[in-house]
Every structure is written in C-alpha cells, then in structure tokens.
Structure 1
Amino acid sequence: MSAEIVQLVEQAGPYLTTAASAYGVAVFTRMESAAVDATANLGRRILQAVWRRGDDQRRGELEAAVQDVAVAPDDGDAAGALRQQIKRALRDDAELLAELARMLPATGETMRVTASGERSIAAKTIGIAVTGDNTTVIT
C-alpha cells in the first residue's frame, strides 16, 4: 500500500469518525447540515464519495464499518476498521484518491477548534467577540 494512501487515511480518520458518530449510516444519504460541525460535514463528504464509487459488496462493508463507529465512537478497533475500508477503496481507484486529497486540508493545516460551555467561542480567526451581559465594545 502506498504511503500516500496511508497518510491520507490517517489524516481523514478524525473526519470519518466524527461523521459516523454524527450521522450513523444515514451519512450516505444526508445533505450537509449547518447544525453539524465542519469536521462531520467533511467526513460525510468523504464517506459519500467512497460510497458512490463502490459496488454493492463494498457499500455493505462500508455501511457495516460506519454502523460500528456510530454505535461505539470511542472504539479504536471500529475506527480502524472504517479506515481500512477507505484504504481498500483508495488502492483500487486513483481518481478517488485524488478526489479525497483535494477535499482534505493540506498537510499541516488540520485544525480542530472546540468551544465548550455557556457563551463559549471557537474560531480559527476572530475580530471582536463578546459573550457577556451589558458589555460595551469600543473600537
């Protein structure tokens, strides 16, 4: 297996797991949702691309792997099995490999921003952000 495939699948792993956790097997038919974070939406797009190119057997195997991750998102074995399904698809389809490579951020640009709690803010870049009551902003 090429190093390029291994690297791409490792980079895609968090997106795949998040999408499977957020959507379950509905990931193959759902449209992008503003209510779901960008990580899950990118994972959904990756899984749908692989799904579209697979035959019935591959689709069934991919669906089973996604279901396992949806049921147990913290199970490393389930996540590994899902990544393995993606690797198999990429080995057999150079066009799919190129398509997924275009979807993923350039290596080194992967970022995860998380906000947790009341009035939390999470952003890659931000100008002014105010989350308090009776706050005055002077610019």
Structure 2
Amino acid sequence: MSAEIADLVNQAGPYLTAALTAYGSAVLTKAEDAAADATANLGRRILQTVWHRRSEPEQAELEAAVQEAAEEINDEDAAAALRQQIKRALRDDTDLRSELAQLLPPQSPGTVTATASGLGAIAAGRDIRTAITGGINRPAP
C-alpha cells in the first residue's frame, strides 16, 4: 500500500467517525444535514464518494462495513474493516484518490492529527506528561 493511500485514510478517519456517529448506517444515503457539523458532513461525502465509485458487489461490502462500524462505534475492529474497504477502493482507483484528496482539507507539512473517541478518551498532538479526564484524581502511592 502506498504512503499516499495510508495518509488519505488516516486523514479521513475523524470525518468518517463523525459521520457514523451523526448518521449511523444511513450515512451512504443521507443528504447533507444542516444540523450536523461540517466534520460529519465531510465524512458522509467521503463515504458516499467511495460508495458511488464501486461495483454492486463492492458497494454491498462497503455497506456491510459501514453498518457494522455504525452499530459498534467504539469497536476498533469494525473501524479497521471500514478503513480496509476504503483502502481497497483507493488502491483500485487513482481518480478516486485525487477526488478524496480534494475533499479533505489541506494539511501543512508536519501536521499531526489527533483523534479521541469514547468515554474519557484523550487526544494530544504532542507528548503530554499528565492527563486527567475526571473522576477522582489521586497521586500515585
């Protein structure tokens, strides 16, 4: 797999998660929603773009991966299966790679994207020493 494909999938990840959270498995057929944030709408557009460029059997595979990822939003395996479907689509279609690259916001060289998902999750773009998400904070014995 090329570094370009890996970069596109990694950059798209937060948008895909937001779209699945906002739209669930209907993300492939849902129209843009003014109430959803821009991140969720971009994730929806990414998934719909990939879906429209696939054959019927490949669309069915993508739909199944979307359904599972939407039902198990915190399941890393379900998210990985969806990412694999997108990687496969990008490997097979250079025009799709260009189209997705145009959809995603430009990143500066050296930009780090940190995504947090789930209860108590933390995302940091740099090393951090201590992170407290709530609850009881006691020093280590």
Same fold by TM (over 0.5)? yes
Greater gyration radius: 1
Task: Determine the structure 1 residue equivalent to 2:131.
Answer: none
Q: Secondary structure at the match of 2:51?
A: helix
2:33 is paired with a residue whose SS is coil
TM-superposed CA distance for 1:25, in Å, is 2.5
1:51 Cα deviation (Å)?
0.6
TM-score by length of 1: 0.75
Report the identity percentage: 63
Q: What SS does the corresponding residue of 1:73 show, helix, strand or coil?
A: coil
* Alpha-carbon distance between aligned partners in 2 of 1:99 and 1:110, rounded to the nearest angstrom: 21
Gapped runs of 5+ residues in structure 2?
Answer: 116-141
User: Structure 2 counterpart of 1:74, which letter?
Assistant: N
Q: Deviations over 1:67-117 (max 9, x none)?
A: 1111111111111111110000000000000000011111239698xxxxx
Q: Distance in 1 between matches of 2:106 and 2:17?
A: 19
> Does the alignment pair 1:105 with 2:97?
no
> Is the Cα contact below 8 Å between 1:21 and 1:71 reproduced in 2?
no
Which residue pairs with 1:26 in the alignment? 26
For the pair 1:45 / 2:45, whether they are aligned, the reply is: yes
Note the 1:119-134 alignment, pairs <5 A: none
Residue type at the aligned position of 1:14:
P
Closer, same or farther: CA 102–94 of 1 in aligned 2, 3 Å: same
Match runs of 1:80-91 below 5 Å: 80-91=80-91
State the alpha-carbon separation in 2 of the partners of residues 110 and 36 from structure 1: 21
Q: How much has 1:20 moved relative to structure 2?
A: 1.8
Q: C-alpha separation between the residues in 2 aligned to 1:47 and 1:90? A: 12
CA–CA separation in structure 2 for the residues paired with 1:100 and 1:31:
18
Q: Which runs of 5+ in 1 are unaligned?
A: 113-139
| 1:23-61 CA-partner distances (Å, limit 9, x unpaired) | 122111111111111111000000000010111111111
Question: More deviation in 44-53 or 67-76?
Answer: 67-76
Q: Which amino acid aligns with 1:93?
A: D
TM-score by length of 2: 0.74
Distance 1:43 1:109 in 2: 19
Equivalent residue letter for 1:103: L
Count, aligned residues: 112
Provide the secondary structure at the position in 1 that maps to 2:59.
helix
